[in-house]
Amino acid sequence: MSTIELRKKWIKSIVNVDDTFLQMIDALYQTYTQEEQGLFEDLPVEIQEILIKSQKNIEEGNYFLHEEVMEKVKQKFNF
């Protein structure tokens, strides 16, 4: 399952889980983001800016799926 498909699945599923499950997921997410923050802050500023811009593009729906890109490459280069 691709990342996009997994995100869509959880967006639809989150309304059906109970409070205990939500609390467990929240705790897991908090732990994950705390660990990730240290890694992010250790990156060069230029890379941080690129990642922030990329995340914003994804949130706004400005991205292409791997399958879409590969299809365009195949068409362009007659694969």
> What average pLDDT does range 2-29 have in this prediction?
89
Instruction: Give the per-residue pLDDT at 40.
Output: 80
Rounded CA-CA distance 60/54 in Å is 10
Instruction: Give the per-residue pLDDT at 49.
Output: 95
Q: What is the 3-state composition of the chain as percent helix, strand, coil, each rounded to the nearest 5?
A: 80, 0, 20
| 17-69 per-position pLDDT tens digit | 888 988 988 888 888 877 656 678 888 899 999 999 999 999 999 999 999 99
Q: Is the dihedral of CA 66, 8, 28, 38 positive or negative?
A: positive
Domain ranges of the chain: 1-42, 44-79
